[in-house]
Amino acid sequence: MRNKTAANFFSDNRRVAFFAAIVCFCAYTSIFCFRKAFNVAPFSGHTLFGIDYKIVLVITQVAGYMLSKFYGIRFIAEMKRVGRGKLILLLVGISWLAWLLFALIPPPFNFWSLFFNGFPLGMLWGVVFSYVEGRRATDFIGASLAVSFIFGSGVAKSVAQFVMEQWDVSEYWMPFVVGLVFMAPLLLFVYLLERIPLPDKKDIAQRTERLPMPKERRKELLRTFLPGIVALVVLYIFVTVLREVRDSFMADMWRESGETLKTVSFVQTETIISIVILLLIAAMTFVKNNFRAFLFSQIIMLIGFIAAGTCTLLFLQKNLDMFWWMTGVGLGLYLVYIPFNSNLFDRFIAAFRYAGNVGFLIYIADSFGYLGSVGVLLSKSVFKLQLRWLDFYTNLVLVMAVFGIVGTLISIFYFRNKNEKLGIEIKN
């Protein structure tokens, strides 16, 4: 049962929006630190299956995350809105226990523990987003939740660097210690998540009621919009690969550039990106028309692919230093990535008046996105591509930016035509 006093206090839509935005941002930032802290360490000196040990660690964790997304297509789509707080703590607890095993088992034989870190964490976005979807303020709240991916990654890396340098914690114990640091904040913010009021009648009228999706309803949605969903999933594969490589090997690329890597560098780049993205996506709240907002989100994605490619060309021509290139390309990628994880599918469901939930669509995109990430990482290792991560990544950004621009234009064209054929009113 929800606390009636809390529900009355937060009955005003704006109060609910700001409360939910802050709580979701802080909760998912805490969760993210259980996943991304280990990426800052080099983990050098070992190989496994003929592959660099750190690459094995990244692939193992991403593989667990990927399989979790495939499982989540059904689990999140059918999830009921009860017991979610306990579920969050259970899943995070399993991922934290995996880091303990990682510290206790000698390398390189501890690599498998990252699978059990990645799998439970892959379920958590859908659980947290279920608290806030289907509201008039979902664009704003979802943007706050989604930028926690960016900010949380920077915080995790900076805290990890601090723990190793200032507390003299080994790189193998560091992920577990970082988890310990963020466990108390997580408990607080999960408690507050449970105090977010349910969508009101005005929310349901404007954004449709969000319901669990049984198998038949999922099939119906796919049959109706399959070409457009495929186009969006392909775009998401591109940007997930680029984001995952950047996130996992950001520190390595910085070292390869020869420029100074400071403890605060990760927070600085990701904070700048977070602020810009939050302001831009949150501004979509003022677009009342759901279909127009859905199209505007894709235009933002188009700009993101263009920005990532342009910044990389400038960097290769030595017109941008490492800090501003990492910031610029990150901003471009997150202009694509964040709409998927905040307002794109929420507006899609509202625009086409479909009874369902966002989790089903994002978990389809996520599952194939991480499958692509695993494929790219394995390709570089298995085929022994003799490229530094910095060289590999700049080439990857340029290629995928081109395909991303083309794919986004195809998606916009398809959904405009689909809207006309279905005869849905433009004014919502």
Label residue 56 by pLDDT band (50, 70, 90): very high
Label residue 354 by pLDDT band (50, 70, 90): confident
Each residue's pLDDT tens digit, 292-313: 999 999 999 999 999 999 999 9
Q: How far apart are the first and last CA of the chain?
A: 33
At 85, list the tokens. Answer: 């707080």
Each residue's pLDDT tens digit, 85-143: 999 999 999 999 999 999 999 999 999 999 999 999 999 999 999 999 989 888 889 88
Label residue 286 by pLDDT band (50, 70, 90): confident
Each residue's pLDDT tens digit, 136-152: 888 889 888 888 887 88
pLDDT(9) > 60: no
Distance, CA of 114 to CA of 218 (rounded, Å): 31
What is the predicted pLDDT for the residue at 123?
94
Average pLDDT, the chain: 88
Strand, helix or coil at 50?
Answer: coil
- Name the DSSP class of 133: -
Distance, CA of 292 to CA of 378 (rounded, Å): 39
Task: Specify the higher pLDDT residue, 377 or 32.
Answer: 32
Distance, CA of 250 to CA of 237 (rounded, Å): 19
What is the predicted pLDDT for the residue at 6?
47
What is the predicted pLDDT for the residue at 7?
47
Residue type, position 105, single letter: I
pLDDT(4) > 70: no
Mean pLDDT confidence for 191-220: 89
Residue 70 neighbours by CB distance under 10 Å: 17
pLDDT(10) > 60: no
What is the predicted pLDDT for the residue at 383?
61
What is the predicted pLDDT for the residue at 263?
60
Mean pLDDT confidence for 405-416: 96
Stated pTM of the model: 0.81
Do residues 414 and 228 make contact, with C-beta atoms less than 8 angstroms apart? Answer: yes
pLDDT(175) > 90: yes
What is the predicted pLDDT for the residue at 181?
96
Each residue's pLDDT tens digit, 227-273: 999 999 999 999 999 988 888 788 788 888 877 766 666 778 878 88
Mean pLDDT confidence for 328-340: 92
Mean pLDDT confidence for 316-322: 91
Do residues 2 and 195 make contact, with C-beta atoms less than 8 angstroms apart? Answer: yes
Distance, CA of 424 to CA of 422 (rounded, Å): 6
Domains of the chain (ranges; CATH) run 12-422 (1.20.1250.20)
Label residue 424 by pLDDT band (50, 70, 90): low
CA atoms within a 13 Å half-sphere pointing along the CA-CB vector of 159? 24
Distance, CA of 45 to CA of 47 (rounded, Å): 7
Q: How far from chain centre, in Å, is Cα 400? A: 18
What is the predicted pLDDT for the residue at 15?
87
Share of the chain above pLDDT 70, in %: 93
